[in-house]
Structures are given as structure tokens and as C-alpha cells.
């Protein structure tokens, strides 16, 4: 088995007297989908905020490729190759797909007469965006020049995911990517999650949707009351087992860590 690309050891996060995370450890490898499930308030958001640099844990360590890191802000995690797609997709509606993929990373060329004002190289960005979308196998984005506000929910999700996977990312964290989508669009997003995995990315998928989790996850990390109640695989446990562990109706003896 390959070494984890991202690892958390003993993360603790307290909010006054409320325990957000209680000694939580997690590993995810390249070419693997790790789902994180748990009831409301179980600590899923707190966990991904710590992994994505949006929150600093009170205790515990985070390692990327075996090296300890200290994320103080989201950019630190991005610089380490960890991209997070939140439910509130950070897309610019008025811009087209290509511009969204290159948001804050625009390609510029020299202006006329060697002017210091460097112009956006729209043609090059569109070319690269098209190539990238094709490489990821996203068939739902046909016209790279289409404004994002005219896209469906599933297509927008695909743009946000493509952006996360675009710039040398090693780990993509997806927060409830199918929550607002219909059956067909959810299917397309789940297909994309599998494609990212098959291309060697490590994917962390936070979801309340058990059928979606069991369709794509290689392992399932179960959060309960701030702690980790265990890690199962779809091969070793049924959806009903996972829910029973999540709610405390059942306890797990051997973890698929
Ligand atoms: N900023 C905060 N201030 C105080 N308490 C917080 C804060 N953020 C989270 N908590 C608490 O920490 C615990 C874990 O919350 P968290 O949002 O991580 O859970 P979750 O599993 O993501 O829940 P949900 O599925 O409802 O989004 C909860 O008890 C929550 O009330």
C-alpha cells in the first residue's frame, strides 16, 4: 500500500466547552476516495477546515507526503496541493468556464509596444481549459466560453471540481458535492470523482448521502460526537452498518485504517 499523501494525527479542536474534534486521525492515499460521514455536529466541517487551512487545530499534527505542515490559512494548504471545493461554490457567475478555471491564476501576455500592462491571454487560457476539461473526462462542459451563470448546478459543480484539480493538486476535498443536485447531475459528479481518483488524486468526500458514499468511496471515515467511530469499506460493511456506527447503535471493533 502506498504512503498517505495526507495524514492527520490526533486532531483536537475545542470551541469553549464544545468539543469540535476529539483526537481525530485520518489518512488518504493517492488514487483513493475517502468518504467522511457523520450526523449533524459530528465534526465533519471542523475536520475539513483543519485540513484545508481554514481553521488551526488546538492539538495534533497534519502531514503531507510524510512531512509535517502547519497551515495558518487556506493558501498554505493550497500551496501544499490541497484544494477544497465548498458547498458554496466559489465560482464567478459572470465569467466564462475558462476564466473561472484560471481565477486568480490568469495567464497574461505582453501588452502592445512592450507596455507594462500585461493583457489577459484569453486564447491560451481557453486552449488550456479545454485541454484540462477533456483530460478530466468532463463531457458536460461543451462550450468553454459559456458564462458560468448559465450553467446547471451539476455543470457548476464540475467547473469548481475541475478548478480544484487543475493546478498540481494532490488532494481534492469535496464538501457535499451532490447535495443540491438531481439524480442525473449527481451521477455526473460521482463519475468525475471516480475519474479524479483514477487519475491518481486523493479525494476526500464529505457527504450525508449514503448511496453516493457507498458508490464511490474506497474507505469510509465515520465521525461521531467529534471523534472517529471507525473506518469501514463498502466491501466489509453495509450502508446500514455504517449508519448504525454513526448513530452509536453499533460499535466497530476492527477499523479499515
Ligand atoms: N465556530 C464555532 N463555534 C462554536 N462551536 C462550533 C463552531 N464550529 C463548530 N462548532 C461545534 O462543533 C461541533 C462540530 O461541528 P461541525 O460543524 O464540524 O459538524 P458537522 O459534522 O460538519 O455538522 P453538519 O453536518 O451539521 O454540518 C458542533 O457541536 C458545533 O456546534
Question: Is there an atom of ligand 1 within 6 Å of 137 CB?
Answer: no
Question: Is there an atom of ligand 1 within 6 Å of 207 CB?
Answer: no
Question: Is there an atom of ligand 1 within 6 Å of 156 CB?
Answer: no
Continuous segment of H or E residues that includes residue 82: strand 82-85
pLDDT at 211: 95
Mean pLDDT of 161-178: 86
- Ligand 1, pocket-test mutation among 22, 45, 173, 223, most atoms within 8 A of CB: 45
Tell me the domain boundaries of the chain: 6-92+169-247
Q: Is the pLDDT of residue 146 over 70?
A: yes
Q: pLDDT band for 117, please (50, 70, 90 cuts).
A: low
Hey, what CATH topology would domain 6-92+169-247 get? Rossmann fold (3.40.50)
Burial 33-68 (b: 16+ CB within 10 A, else e): bbbbbbbeebbbbbbbbbbbbbbebeebebbbeeee
Q: Is the pLDDT of residue 221 over 80?
A: yes
Which phi-psi region, left, alpha or beta, contains residue 149 (left: φ > 0; alpha: ψ -120 to 50)? alpha
Question: Is there an atom of ligand 1 within 6 Å of 209 CB?
Answer: no
Atom nearest to 49 CA in ligand 1: 18
Nearest-angstrom CA–CA distance, 224 and 231: 12
pLDDT at 238: 95
Between 195 and 216, where is the model more confident?
Answer: 216
* Contacting residues for 15 by C-beta, under 8 A, at least 6 apart: none
Average pLDDT in the chain: 89
Q: ipTM exceeding 0.90?
A: yes
pTM: predicted TM-score of the whole model, two decimal places:
0.90
Question: Is there an atom of ligand 1 within 6 Å of 45 CB?
Answer: yes
Residue nearest ligand 1's atom 27 by CA:
40
Q: Is the pLDDT of residue 140 over 80?
A: no
Question: Is there an atom of ligand 1 within 6 Å of 49 CB?
Answer: no
Q: Is the pLDDT of residue 201 over 90?
A: yes
pLDDT at 76: 96
Q: How far is the CA of 20 from the centre of ligand 1 (A)?
A: 6
Q: pLDDT band for 86, please (50, 70, 90 cuts).
A: confident
Q: Can you read off the three cell numbers belonging to residue 30? A: 493517492
177 closest CA partner among 194, 160, 163, 165:
160
Q: Is the pLDDT of residue 125 over 90?
A: no
Q: pLDDT band for 44, please (50, 70, 90 cuts).
A: very high
Q: What percent of the chain has pLDDT over 70?
A: 95
Q: Is the pLDDT of residue 49 over 70?
A: yes
Amino acid at each position: 500500500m502506498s504512503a498517505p499523501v495526507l495524514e492527520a494525527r490526533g486532531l483536537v479542536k475545542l470551541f469553549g466547552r464544545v468539543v469540535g474534534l476529539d483526537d481525530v486521525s485520518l489518512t488518504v492515499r493517492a488514487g483513493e476516495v475517502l468518504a467522511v460521514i457523520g450526523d449533524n455536529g459530528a465534526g465533519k466541517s471542523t475536520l475539513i477546515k483543519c485540513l484545508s487551512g481554514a481553521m488551526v487545530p488546538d492539538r495534533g499534527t497534519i502531514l503531507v507526503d510524510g512531512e509535517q505542515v502547519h497551515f495558518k490559512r487556506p493558501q498554505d494548504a493550497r500551496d501544499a496541493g490541497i484544494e477544497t471545493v465548498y458547498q458554496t461554490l466559489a465560482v464567478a457567475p459572470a465569467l466564462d468556464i475558462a476564466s473561472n478555471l484560471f481565477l486568480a491564476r490568469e495567464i497574461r501576455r505582453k501588452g502592445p509596444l512592450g507596455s507594462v500592462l500585461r493583457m489577459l491571454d484569453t486564447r491560451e487560457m481557453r486552449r488550456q481549459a479545454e485541454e484540462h476539461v477533456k483530460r478530466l473526462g468532463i463531457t458536460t462542459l461543451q462550450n468553454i466560453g459559456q458564462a458560468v451563470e448559465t450553467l446547471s448546478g451539476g455543470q457548476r459543480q464540475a467547473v469548481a471540481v475541475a478548478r480544484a484539480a487543475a493546478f498540481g493538486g494532490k488532494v481534492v476535498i469535496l464538501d457535499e458535492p451532490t447535495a443540491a443536485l438531481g439524480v442525473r447531475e449527481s451521477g455526473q459528479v460521482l463519475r468525475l470523482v471516480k475519474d479524479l481518483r483514477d487519475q491518481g488524486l486523493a479525494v476526500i468526500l464529505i457527504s450525508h448521502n449514503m448511496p453516493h458514499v457507498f458508490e464511490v468511496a474506497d474507505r469510509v471515515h465515520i465521525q461521531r460526537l467529534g471523534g472517529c467511530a471507525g473506518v469501514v469499506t463498502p466491501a466489509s460493511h453495509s450502508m446500514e452498518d455504517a449508519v448504525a456506527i454513526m448513530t452509536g447503535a453499533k460499535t466497530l471493533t476492527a477499523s479499515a485504517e
